Amino acid sequence: MAAKPLSRRGQFTVGVLVAAMGLCVAALAASYIGKGAGRFDPVVGMFGGLMLSFAGAILVAPERDGKMRAWFGAMMVTCIALLLDWVALGLGDVQAAAASVNASARSHFWQVPGRVLLVIGAMLFNLMALWAWLRARRLRRSARA
């Protein structure tokens, strides 16, 4: 049985709560940048929090304002693309091992396919973010005309 869609008031409430939660996560993660946070990568937490806050902003924006929703959607997809870029191409275990003097830079044979798929997914999200920005810009231009 399908659930009833949320009313506009429900969308607004859920959007504000999700946006507030995302901003709290992003602010908490930003406070750990430059400090030793153990296994927690603060940049990943910051991108994840910003993605949640933009998802909440999409719910808060009025449904009739497609331009605003398109811009928030482009920002959300860009945050996801940056998150995947950081995980796939950022300073991971292999690069950190190569940076130290005593460790070898080799990765295990079975890690290679997973890393390749992660990089391919990150590049696809980069293309999706580019498409979202071009779509939001096109909506802005069509509104002016």
Domain assignment of residue 70, yes or no: yes
Flag whether the pTM goes above 0.85.
Answer: no
Domain assignment of residue 14, yes or no: yes
Percent of the chain with pLDDT over 90: 50
Domain assignment of residue 1, yes or no: no
Domain assignment of residue 2, yes or no: no
Number of structural domains the chain divides into: 1
In the three-class reduction of DSSP (H, G, I as helix; E, B as strand; rest coil), residue 132 is classed as helix
Rounded-to-10 torsion of CA 108, 113, 84, 21 = -80
Q: Are 26 and 53 in contact (CB under 8 A)?
A: yes
Q: Is the pLDDT score of 96 beyond 60?
A: no
Token pair listed for 21: 């939660």
First-residue to last-residue Cα distance in the chain: 44
Domain assignment of residue 63, yes or no: yes
Q: Is the pLDDT score of 31 beyond 70?
A: yes
DSSP string computed for 23-42: HHHHHHHHHTTTS--TT--H
Domain of residue 107 covers: 8-144
Q: Is the pLDDT score of 105 beyond 60?
A: no
Q: Is the pLDDT score of 39 beyond 80?
A: no
Domain assignment of residue 48, yes or no: yes
Average pLDDT (26-30) is 92
